[in-house]
Amino acid sequence: MIENKVLHVADVQKNFAGLRALSDIDLTITEGKTHAIIGPNGAGKSTLLNVVVGRIIPDEGAVVFDGTVITGKKPYEINQLGIARVFQTPEIFNDLTLLQNVMVPAYAKRDGPLRLNVLTALDSDTDIRLAAEEILEDVGLADKRHADASAMSRGDKRRLELAMCLVQRPKLLLLDEPTAGMSRLDTNRTIDLLKKIKAGGMTKVIIEHDMHVVFSLADMVTVLAGGRIIAQGTPEEVRRDPKVQEAYLGG
């Protein structure tokens, strides 16, 4: 079977005022796979995701998504092409209900940038409401759909944010530490949910500190340290790599 590249980060460099945040990053993500990016704090993991979603413009190099160069496109344009991203800190609308929170990105994906009267439009949009209710069911939040998002637990907030991405049916889902701050129970529920998504064939890139999560989910692992790729392979290969043990696992 020919493996299809969904994403190619090609020779990317990024400096922040003299600090080399990313050097010579060349990374390929294969369709349908779960690809983990691990590495110590400050390694450049979030910067790399920000480059992919268009929040940070690289100094050199390019990002190719599904055959299209996306470097220089605006974040919402990249999102519309089919890349969704779960942030390290959940970005949700506290004044809205859970259901409305999930409807907003579905609406933006279908109709483009939001208008001021979006809530009025949402109330009468049955298609989007049904899609949002289905996703809330999948992530285990259906019972709470009419509650205000402000009153949620941290674990529920992360699940809500995941639902806000899934409702867009992205070709590529990027997750920045999706289990950070979660209890072991919530972490395991998230692993199960991500396995279910994997069975559906969605390509995922996941930044993760928790090795239990990496080894439960990842097909491939890339290790970053000091802004460079220091190792790459299956979880087993990476675990055995002395460079990785030195830079990360032993640290």
Q: How many CB atoms lie within 10 A of CB 223?
A: 23
| Binding region for ligand ADP (CB under 6 A) out of 37-45, 110-118, 196-204, 243-251 | 37-45
The site for ligand ADP, by CB under 6 A, has a size of 11
Verify binding: residue 50, Mg ion, rule CB under 5 A. no
Which range touches ligand ADP (CB under 6 A), out of 43-51, 151-159, 191-199, 208-216?
A: 43-51
Integer Cα distance of 206 and 219 in angstroms = 11
- 24 lies in the binding site for ligand ADP (CB under 6 A): no
- Partner residues linked to 220 by β-bridges: 35
| Residue 170 binds ligand ADP, judged by CB under 6 A | no
The correct pick among 34, 46, 190, 232 for binding Mg ion (CB under 5 A) is: 46
Q: How many Å apart are CA 3 and CA 203, to the nearest integer?
A: 12
Partner interacting with residue 144 (select from Mg ion, ligand ADP, none; CB below 5-8 Å by kind): none
C-alpha 123/C-alpha 80 separation (Å) is 23
Candidates 12, 36, 47, 230; binder of ligand ADP (CB under 6 A) is 47
Residues 167, 169: Cα–Cα separation, whole Å: 5
> Does 44 help bind ligand ADP (rule: CB under 6 A)?
yes
Q: Is 47 in the site for Mg ion (CB under 5 A)?
A: no
Where residue 192 falls (left for φ over 0; alpha for ψ -120 to 50; beta otherwise) is alpha
Structure tokens at 246: 């030195």
Nearest CA among 36, 42, 48 for reference residue 235: 36
Q: Which is nearer to ligand ADP, 101 or 222 (by Cβ)?
A: 222
Regarding 39 and contact with ligand ADP (CB under 6 A), the answer is yes
> Which positions touch Mg ion (CB under 5 A)?
45-46
